[in-house]
Amino acid sequence: MQIVRELDYTPNLVAQRLSTGKTLAIAVIVPFFTTPSVTERLNGVVSTLAKSEYDLVIHNIEEPEQRADCFRVIPRRDRVDGVLVISISPTDEEVPLLAEASVPIVLIDTHHPALSMLNQIFVDDVAGGRVVAEYLIGLGHTRIGFIGDQANNPFNFTSSRDRALGYRQALEAAGIPYRAEYYAENPYGRREARESAKRMLALPERPTAIFAASDVQAVGVLEAARELGLRVPQDLSVVGYDDVEIAEILGLTTMRQMLFESGQRGVELLLETLENPETEPVYEVLPTELVVRETTGPPSC
């Protein structure tokens, strides 16, 4: 110990961990981690993992090429003990990379039918989109717009596409014709949603309600309404999706999903699998809840 002090020796924790066959590290593969909904899921991951012995390594994906590299390289036993994949839907080509990984993997806010051997936690976005549209129809709206993400995107994001499908199902069930001019797809973002909303609201027969695929995009719709001098909800009802903090601040009607809780649950399932690898995989659909606030009401025209 005297020599240790004299040499100011510090043990190599990585080497110590590898000597036990564990890295004591968990990787999370996540897209655009500054996005409000993703940040809230990460908060759930961090808060739960902090109570364990594991360190967290975040791999932020902002380019399509990065996802393939992560799926190929990260899930290896010499790098991490387990992996959380958030909001990135695996393509059919990527399925073998995850199915044959040497460490346990949990999918959060995404799923794939060919990955039944993995724990999967997600929201039924088709049902969520249908509930939002049914609520607006119940208020008396028949001219309902939808603004969401690009359905065909290099990241294979599916939530907006599924919410749009639910929206169209509700219109069809109510006998309301789908109108292409009331539908817009953009790269995700507030500004892009604002411009689409302005074009939609400038139509000779404008929509009386707009359903945005996220709260961030709903903020863009509210900005467009303000710029055009439209009152919310008297002239235009607006609904978002997620129920992030800005929704409560703005009094936005939105579909709440369990963002923080999904991160918590993902870590719990991963830790259970690490403790007992023979645990049966869980396929869990988290509930959603429509939160009605000040941005919706019956149409005035």
**CA-CA distance, 101 to 122, in Å (whole number)?**
21
Give every CB contact of residue 50 below 8 A, 6+ residues apart in sequence: none
Considering only CA atoms, which of 146, 52, 50, 159 is closest in space to residue 111?
159
Q: What is the DSSP letter of 181?
A: G
Alpha-carbon distance 204 to 183, whole Å?
15
Give the range among 35-39, 64-68, 183-187, 188-192 with minimum mean pLDDT. 64-68
| pLDDT at 92 exceeding the cut of 80 | yes
Question: What is the per-residue pLDDT for 54?
Answer: 93
Residue 166: pLDDT band (50, 70, 90) is very high
Domains present along the chain, CATH in parentheses: 2-124+258-287 (3.40.50.2300), 125-257 (3.40.50.2300)
- What's the confidence (pLDDT) of residue 20? 55
Q: How far is CA 171 from the centre of its chain?
A: 24
Query: Taking residues 256-264, what's their average pLDDT?
Result: 95
Q: Which residue has the higher pLDDT, 164 or 20?
A: 164
Q: DSSP 3-state assignment of 274?
A: helix
Say if residue 42's pLDDT is above 70.
yes
Mean pLDDT rounded to a whole number for the chain: 90
The answer, yes or no, to whether the previous bond of 104 is cis (omega within 30 of 0) is no
User: What CA–CA distances, in Å, run from 277 to 34, 82, 163, 274?
Assistant: 32, 11, 35, 6
Q: Residue 33 — pLDDT band, cuts 50, 70, 90?
A: confident
Instruction: Quick: pLDDT tens for 99-136.
Output: 888 899 999 998 888 999 999 999 999 999 999 999 99
- What single-letter DSSP state applies at residue 24? -
Confidence at 74, pLDDT banded by 50, 70, 90: confident
- 10 Å CB burial of residue 219 (0-12, 13-18, 19+) is buried
What per-residue confidence (pLDDT) applies to 228?
Answer: 97
Cβ 214 vs Cβ 208: under 8 Å: no
Query: Is the CB of residue 297 less than 8 Å from the CB of residue 237?
Result: yes
- Give the pLDDT score at 157: 79
- Residues pairing with 120 in the sheet: 107, 283
